[in-house]
């Protein structure tokens, strides 16, 4: 297995919200990054998102203009999966669909060197099942970044059935090299984060739908009462209601009716109101 000290180039599969965020923090931390997606417009959109994010950090005096320029110089976008043969570690950040992730991991297994660790950013899907699509299950690990990646400090390290201790240690070291703090979970449905977070969001949606309180008071009550930065409805909008629904449906299937998605969550997703990314969710985000 390639060791942590040997990591110079990071491959990221997926240029969406999570993928471009991971690519950004890796490039800012000094790694060369290859960010791959299936269509040129997806890649360009991801690169534009990184540019906007870095510009905000410059405006907030978090980084300098030179640091922004250096980070962008280390980041390359591509549609060619074969380019990831150059990577010393690869992080997959594609959609939360098991068949798609397994296809990606099977393709990566054939492309990258045998000693390269493959990580998945999945928030609910089984690491063990994803790893089964490869011939290196012992070198597959979960690296679940929190959204938005450049801002949130936490990364959940998830061990599959065959993940070795050395790979788990590498995952912790690598995340910490990106300026993150880690915790570890076994490969159980939802891991630590979403197993607890999704019922909280789901119950907040139910409370609103059943008229317990206004959405503003539900969120305000949770922020003031539990010292969280966002209440459940606001957080759901930021995560994406479609992502919340996918995660909750996975947990419902695995763990039973205590995770059954709220009716209003289904209705919002069916209406195309997915939260901040579409401009409308439980709140409006015009402009």
pLDDT in tens, 64-73: 999 999 999 9
- Residue 190 marked as a ligand binder: no
194 a catalytic residue? yes
pLDDT at residue 80, as a whole number: 98
One pLDDT digit (tens) per residue for the chain, 287 residues:
999 999 999 999 999 999 999 999 999 999 999 999 999 999 999 999 999 999 999 999 999 999 999 999 999 999 999 999 999 999 999 998 999 999 999 999 999 999 999 999 999 999 999 999 999 999 999 999 998 899 999 999 999 999 999 999 999 999 999 999 999 999 999 999 999 999 999 999 999 999 999 999 999 999 999 999 999 999 999 989 999 999 999 999 999 999 999 999 999 999 999 999 999 999 999 86
Q: 274, 284 in Cβ contact below 8 A?
A: no
Query: Which residues constitute the domain of residue 98?
Result: 4-186
44 a catalytic residue? no
60 a catalytic residue? no
Q: What is the CATH number of the domain that holds 70?
A: 3.40.50.720
Q: Do 197 and 131 have their domain in common?
A: no
Strand 32-36 and strand 75-78: the pairing is parallel
At 92 the three-state DSSP class reads: strand
**Residue 283 domain-assigned (yes or no):** no
How far is 225 from 214, CA to CA, in rounded Å?
A: 16
How far is 171 from 156, CA to CA, in rounded Å?
A: 10
Q: Do 168 and 227 have their domain in common?
A: no
- Residue 185 marked as a ligand binder: no
Q: Do 142 and 10 have their domain in common?
A: yes
- Residue 49 marked as a ligand binder: no
Q: Do 104 and 176 have their domain in common?
A: yes
């Amino acid at each position: 297995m390639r060791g942590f000290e040997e990591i110079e180039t990071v491959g990221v599969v997926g240029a969406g919200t999570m993928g471009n965020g991971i690519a950004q923090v890796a490039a800012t931390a000094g790694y060369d990054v290859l960010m791959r997606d299936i269509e040129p417009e997806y890649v360009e959109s991801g690169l534009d998102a990184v540019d906007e994010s870095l510009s905000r950090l410059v405006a907030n005096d978090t980084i300098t203009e030179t640091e922004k320029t250096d980070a962008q110089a280390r980041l390359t976008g591509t549609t060619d999966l074969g380019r990831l043969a150059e990577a010393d570690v690869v992080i997959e950040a594609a959609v939360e669909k098991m068949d798609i992730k397994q296809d990606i991991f099977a393709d990566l297994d054939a492309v990258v060197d045998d000693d390269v660790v493959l990580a998945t950013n999945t928030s609910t899907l089984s690491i063990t099942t994803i790893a089964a699509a490869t011939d290196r299950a012992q070198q597959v690990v979960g690296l679940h970044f929190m959204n938005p990646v450049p801002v949130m400090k936490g990364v959940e390290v998830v061990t599959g059935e065959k993940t070795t201790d050395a790979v788990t240690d590498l995952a912790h070291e690598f995340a910490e090299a990106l300026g993150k703090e880690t915790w570890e979970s076994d490969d159980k449905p939802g891991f630590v984060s979403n197993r607890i977070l999704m019922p909280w969001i789901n119950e907040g949606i139910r409370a609103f739908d059943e008229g317990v309180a206004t959405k503003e008071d539900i969120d305000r009550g949770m922020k003031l009462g539990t010292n969280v930065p966002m209440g459940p409805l606001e957080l759901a909008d930021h995560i994406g209601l479609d992502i919340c629904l996918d995660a909750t449906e996975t947990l419902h299937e695995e763990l039973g009716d205590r995770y059954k998605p709220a009716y209003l969550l289904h209705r919002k997703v069916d209406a195309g109101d997915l939260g901040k990314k579409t401009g409308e969710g439980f709140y409006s985000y015009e402009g």
